[in-house]
Structure 1
Amino acid sequence: MFDDRLLPKLSQNLLEVLKDKEYCDIIIEVGNDPYVKIFRAHMVILHYRSPYLQRILTTIKKKNDGTLTYIKLPNISPEAFEIILRYIYSGSLSLDEYDNSDIIKTLFAASELSLLELITYLQSFLIDNKADWLEQNFDSIYQLSFENDSFLELQKFCTDLMTQEPNKIFNSPNFTSITERILISIIQNDNLQMSEIQIWEQVIKWGHAQNPELPFDVSNYSKDDFNTLKNTLQQIIPFIRFYNLSSKEFMDKVLPYEQILPKELYQDLLKTFLNLLDPNSKPSGKSKPRINEEIDLSNIDSNIINYKHVEFISKWIDRLEITDKLNNQYEFKLLYRGSRDGFTKEKFHRMCDNKPRTVTIVKVRDSNEILGGYNPIKWRPYGGDSITKDSFIFSFNNNNNNDRIEKYILSRVIKEKSAIFNDSNYGPFFGYTDLIIWGRNGNCSCSKVSYEKPIRETKNFHIDEIEIFQIV
């Protein structure tokens, strides 16, 4: 049986070898002027740890006169190489102390040095721990991931986000800065989980952002304004599947922009939609339909919530209005149930730690009240405050025992740096004190600080049941 308990000591000793310059036999100049840094290392370790460096070193004859071998790595940043050198020697890595840009630089450096294990690890780390940041910087992440054949995990992340959760891209503060090429890549996808009218509205939003001088209200457009928008969107318009719209959607949302449409297309659209007797009907067979997955919310393994609660929570995750059509089919996978697994913070951490995208649901004792929260990042037994912009907490309060949701409160995070709190001494913990399950002395409480509004009137409460689901 293999026992790896001795490896940490070996890793520590090899890091000490890196720090000890007495037996170094190679100097590595990393970076470009004016920012260049010199590193000293050992050829034998570099030779066996990096295929790229192995190829370089095999062409260099080792000197026996005590002179150090000298190589340059101009395409790698010194910050990234320092991280990589620690990995090469120790076989371990701690990324918590580095900012996101350094991790991206390290990913590029790992690709340059053909460190396949590290490439996979860094991509997984970014996806599991920095998903918010990846989404906010989708434009640049998309471009860098498809420029390198090694970044398959990031490519899949971008593709999945485009098709399954396009609202995250469209609702991002940086959406209007994405390139025309990326916008076309998104809207031409057959599996895009959005209605055609939502796609049209986002395209118009993007076009406006490229021309901020345009009037906000299309009724105030001049002929020049229409020409400006037409020129901006001329490469994108052909990918809109107008015939998937209803007659009412076309008349209300597209017709005001008739001057930006190609003349023949506009005339055919007008003829088609005017011939539809039902304003909510759609022409058939003229546009390739989007492959929208059927949303089945009825199959939920819960003692607390029903399919209507699932629908509300799913829409909140996608930042939709309650009246909007639900485009994404989420599975609520039960991870933990108090009545089944035990009402303790230890059980919570054992069954839910290191799992991203979870929804916590609790039933308040002696009431019809349901409280909960969505955590898009991982629960951990340590680490304190964690940052995310996508978490939210909520409450439902039904006076009647039926499927209708009569009263609810949604409260999104406003202080992102304290969105989630991780500590083995607590259960699920949202905000500074906004929703705490099993706080000090095992108490549960709500008190608004980090989220936009309180979700219940009184602070302290007890629970009859708790369930935690992973959204997959």
Structure 2
Amino acid sequence: MADNKLLPKLSQNLLEILDDKEYYDITIEVGSDPYVKVFRAHMVILDYRSPYLRRILSTNKKKNDGILTNIKLPNISPEIFHVLLRYIYGGSLSLEEYDISDLIKILVTANELSLQELIHYIESFLIKNKTNWMEQNFELIYQTSFETDSFPELQKYCTDLISKEPDKIFNSPNFSTIPERLLITLVQKDNLQMKEIQVWEHVIKWGLAQNPELPSDPTSFSKDDFNTLKHTLQQCLSFIRFHDLNPKEFSKKVLPYKRIFPKELYKELLDYFLDDDSKETLPRISNLKQTSTVDDIRRVTNSDKKPQEDISMESGTFTKLDENKQNVSTNNIKNIDSKIITFQHADIISKWINRLKSTDKPTTSYEFKLLYRDSRDWSSGFLNRFKKFHEICLNQPHTVTVVKVEGSNEILGGYNPIGWKFDGDYGVTKDSFIFSFNNHNVENYILSRVKNEKEAIRKILYLSQGPSFGDLYLFQSASNQLKISCKNTTYEKPISRINDSIILEFELFKIDI
């Protein structure tokens, strides 16, 4: 007789023990008023089957006074806990019996109880059997999978779907309900398997869906209508590769919405598409090796152009420049992996570190090594957002923080030459600085050096506090939002007017000096 044929009987007996009303030694109150249910269980089984419950039980040692041990799980649904308790005892769970929405709840609760084997089992089941539902409810799957690092298979499913089959998300009936952050993640994917004009059309579709009062035809828009759509899409526009469009696509699909563009970007695009020599399709930056310099990009995109013409990279797009306009040299930047800044930004920041002007010739070659990216490394939990930042960046000197803010064309950031400390004391240095760039013009910036070196780096103690300079600090709000604030007390001048603004993304780089 094969060994596994004995397991069903064992599972049945263990479930009978769970249902027994005589020999239990612990009660568990699950849920919150008015929906609370009390479960009877056995400490030895809970201790060995759930690391989470083991930790709770270790602080509730059984006493020899005849009083039962009691624990409370107010944040868990009684219905879901009932399912998982039977799994804990019986070691089996028939997933086909449950609605997919309930399976997601079971998955999330299994993670809370540290039931790793079950997590893997549910992930595999969903990916193998429920892909259609997950595509239709991609927002829920995406949000659930990236709230924690415990769902790697679902995370891979989401990233693969975004890259390889974006049309399934864009064409989903629920596409218009996805949050802006997910839309930006989709649009900025360098290996997106979709034509750029299709990306643009979906972005417009999403923007109109957020404002159902707007006409579907832009020729019927009022000035206020354009301003409304402009405000809705302002964070997405910089990630569209407009230079990958052909002139007909630009004329028919983009020009009708010209009034939603920032003036600098619109002028740049108009100059590009009116130039007969600029009609060829340009590749996405990611199609080139990441270690390429702007000069390498020029050689690829400009091989058939006249000698006096030049190509510069700004905010992820290509801009045609006059030969007499001074370009920012980026030859000294070895490499940068960023969703926020380009080689040009990094070059200017490097000069500031050396106390040079942006127009000075670079004297040192730096490498920007990505240590932390919020969309990749953030930690879930109430006021726990920056846990990994504290772990990864402790005592790391020479770091640059860059931030993209919702509702702003600015890129904000700061340089910390000393190691990050999380002991609640100020960091003292005379070499730190904070800065802001205009998202559409790398040469439009504000640099502010520290004037009160004793409070150059802000006090950081809690896991809800991120990179913080005297006048620029990142934090997790009580409503669980990632925010940034600026003021002007310890640095020379203000770099922005934002206050308590929501962060779309932030990154922290180690500078090899």
TM-score > 0.5 by shorter chain? yes
* Aligned twin of 2:262: 262
- Residue 196 of structure 1 aligns with an amino acid whose one-letter code is E
The answer to whether the aligner puts 1:3 opposite 2:3 as a matched pair is: yes
CA distance in 1, matches of 2:256, 2:86: 60
* Aligned twin of 1:288: 285
1:15 deviates by 1.1
Gaps of 5+ in 1: 292-472
CA distance in 1, matches of 2:282, 2:59: 66
1:198 deviates by 0.4
Report the RMSD for the aligned CA atoms in angstroms: 1.9
* Aligned twin of 2:442: none
Pick closer, same or farther for the CA change 1:171–1:237 going to 2, 3 Å.
same
CA distance in 2, matches of 1:33, 1:95: 29
* Aligned twin of 1:221: 221
- Residue 23 of structure 2 aligns with an amino acid whose one-letter code is Y
* Aligned twin of 1:183: 183
1:284 deviates by 3.4
* Aligned twin of 1:164: 164
CA distance in 1, matches of 2:185, 2:110: 28
* Aligned twin of 1:324: none
CA distance in 1, matches of 2:281, 2:78: 59
* Aligned twin of 1:70: 70
Asked which structure has the greater RCO (Cα within 8 Å, sep 6+), the reply is 1
**Cα displacement string for residues 181-217 of structure 1 (whole angstroms, at most 9, x for unaligned residues):** 1100011011111110000000000011011111111
Pick closer, same or farther for the CA change 1:14–1:93 going to 2, 3 Å.
same
* Aligned twin of 2:118: 118
Structure 2 counterparts to residues 207-246 of structure 1, below 5 A: 207-246=207-246
CA distance in 1, matches of 2:138, 2:147: 14
Give the TM-score of the pair, scaled to structure 1. 0.58
* Aligned twin of 1:327: none
- Residue 141 of structure 1 aligns with an amino acid whose one-letter code is I
* Aligned twin of 1:38: 38
- Residue 260 of structure 2 aligns with an amino acid whose one-letter code is I
1:240 deviates by 0.3
- Residue 189 of structure 1 aligns with an amino acid whose one-letter code is K
CA distance in 1, matches of 2:228, 2:163: 29
- CA contact under 8 A between 2:26 and 2:68: conserved in structure 1? yes
* Aligned twin of 1:362: none
User: SS at the partner of 1:182?
Assistant: helix
1:171 deviates by 1.0
Pick closer, same or farther for the CA change 1:192–1:290 going to 2, 3 Å.
farther
1:151 deviates by 1.2
Structure 2 counterparts to residues 309-458 of structure 1, below 5 A: none
Gaps of 5+ in 2: 289-513
- CA contact under 8 A between 2:191 and 2:286: conserved in structure 1? no
1:63 deviates by 3.3
CA distance in 1, matches of 2:148, 2:286: 32
1:65 deviates by 4.4
CA distance in 2, matches of 1:288, 1:246: 17
1:283 deviates by 4.4
CA distance in 1, matches of 2:99, 2:152: 22
CA distance in 2, matches of 1:71, 1:140: 31
* Aligned twin of 1:48: 48
CA distance in 1, matches of 2:287, 2:80: 42
* Aligned twin of 2:130: 130
- CA contact under 8 A between 1:207 and 1:232: conserved in structure 2? yes
**Cα displacement string for residues 149-180 of structure 1 (whole angstroms, at most 9, x for unaligned residues):** 10111111111111111111111111001111
Pick closer, same or farther for the CA change 1:74–1:139 going to 2, 3 Å.
same
* Aligned twin of 2:60: 60
- CA contact under 8 A between 1:197 and 1:245: conserved in structure 2? yes
CA distance in 2, matches of 1:69, 1:251: 72
* Aligned twin of 1:198: 198
CA distance in 1, matches of 2:222, 2:128: 48
* Aligned twin of 1:397: none
User: SS at the partner of 1:76?
Assistant: coil
- In percent, how many aligned pairs have the same letter? 68
* Aligned twin of 1:94: 94
- CA contact under 8 A between 2:258 and 2:266: conserved in structure 1? yes
* Aligned twin of 1:146: 146
* Aligned twin of 1:84: 84
**Cα displacement string for residues 51-89 of structure 1 (whole angstroms, at most 9, x for unaligned residues):** 111122122222334432111111211111111111111
* Aligned twin of 2:25: 25
CA distance in 2, matches of 1:133, 1:216: 29
